[in-house]
Amino acid sequence: MTAAESLTSTSVDLDAPLTAADLRRAASPVSVVAGDGVRARVERGRAFLRDVLNEEERPVYGATTGFGALVGFPGRQEQADQCDNTLAHLGAGQGPDLDPVVCRAALLVRVWSLAQGVSGVSAHVVDGLAAMFATTFVPAIPRYGSVGASGDLIPLAYAAQALRGRGDAYADGQRMPASEALRRTGLTPLTLDGRDALALVNGTSLTTAATALALDSVRASHRALQALTCLLADLLGCDPGFLDPRLMSAYGHRGAIDVATRMRETLAGTTPSGTRALQEPYSIRCSPQLLGAAEDALRYAGGVVAADLSSVSDNPLFFPADDLVVHGGNFFGQPAAFASDVLAMVTAQLGNLAERQLDLLVDPTRNGGLPPMLAAGPGRQHGMQGVQLATTALVAELRHAALPAGMQSLPTNLHNQDVVPFGTQAALRAYDMAALLALLCGSLAVGLRQAAHVGARRPTSPACAALLDTLSEAVPPIDPDRPLDADVRRAAALLTTELP
């Protein structure tokens, strides 16, 4: 490995495009590099802001004015006071703390946006945020409070305050006063003026981060379900004709064609048992159409995430070369709201598929004569019965959560924010749902492993046989009964982190 490759694998360069992989890396201490190009851009934008503020006839939102509906009133005279004016009133969040993984990802999105040099922030703000990522410091951010417009104001205000040493934060996984967390991790409290404070909060970085992480997780489960569906078909001895390339070409949908191609590769070498009905239930026969539609939807969401990760979400923006201060709405998180709502629908239907496939597998009238609930000794043992109950509950939760958020606009802020996207709600909901989908995949995987134990045939496809062997190494047979919660989680982690 070259030195450049080593740096790429262990650091995040703010002068390079931001990726979902960068967000995952930021969950643990990582080097975030703000190089000479970043510094030059940021300092140029900051110098332009100073020049503009010296021109009394050029008002700058948040630097010389109040905020939101109070923009028509002057702000505080001193910039340090204007920072407090920005952040103090936003300390209104409620609910449990957000997942630290999401918090750190959100701040990486934020610092990348600031590093583009059009937000007018101080260079030491970018440096301070970059330094945080080399530590275990995580701001304590309450879940509820953002409407995903004018940025994720309330959540990001908690992050900014924690970086100043106010409020609470985590260090090495322990919650404590932010001042103590800064001390333990060797960080210096950030000093902010009014523009710095507003730039930290006036973007949809939490929404973007949660959407990107949700998409990443759903993609992993989607890949897992393709493989598990193939293993189910092979264990039962199904005819793979439902994946025929001529059939799929006639269907015409790109995602379905691509999914069927991957599934045919997984099932290569399989031999039908010849004992199944002419047509399989839809949870097998229509799986490439369902998984293919999900593939198309995930590609749409991926395009939105890619755009958001390369987006500057802030207001106003400063363009020194054109002598322009532009006030607008780049903090409006509607794209991520729609993408997250699509993710929620995809997740709910993928969850339905996994639950229906497990139901088929435990039913002796449809599973080729395997024992009910895949119990090694029905009556004396209960096999998958508890897990099957839990999957029903998980699917009910997914269905309940799948109500779209991105069209639930509710005016606020004296009708200054008269339309809002609720992107934060959509993104965090999609993130939570993605975790439930992974558990459903893990549940199905445990069932498939147990089916092999209680009499299903050895898979005839080499790829399916290898997958079953991997699952069998991770999950012992259910004989006798035992609690299976940890087995489900172990299988879910294996499927969503180790499958290619």
- Alpha helices (H) along 75-152: 79-87, 100-114, 123-132
In angstroms, the CA 388 to CA 57 distance is 68
In angstroms, the CA 155 to CA 104 distance is 12
User: Please, which residues bridge with residue 381 across strands?
Assistant: 378
CB 140 within 8 A of CB 162: yes
In angstroms, the CA 41 to CA 349 distance is 45
Q: What is the DSSP string of 479-498?
A: SS----HHHHHHHHHHHHHH
In angstroms, the CA 213 to CA 21 distance is 9
By C-alpha distance, which of 133, 115, 135 is closest to 125? 115
- By three-state DSSP, how is residue 412 classified? strand
Stretch (H or E) spanning 219: helix 205-236
Residue with tokens 């701040």: 107
CA distances from 67 to 17, 110, 200, 256, 450 (A): 31, 20, 14, 49, 60
CB 466 within 8 A of CB 194: no
Q: Which residues of 294-311 are buried (b: 16+ CB within 10 A; e: fewer)?
A: bbebbeebbebbbebbeb
The type of residue at 454 is V
Count of helix runs (H) and strand runs (E) in the chain: 19, 9
Question: Is 300 marked active-site?
Answer: no
How buried is residue 393: exposed, middle or buried, by Cβ count under 10 Å (0-12/13-18/19+)? exposed
| Residues labelled catalytic | 61
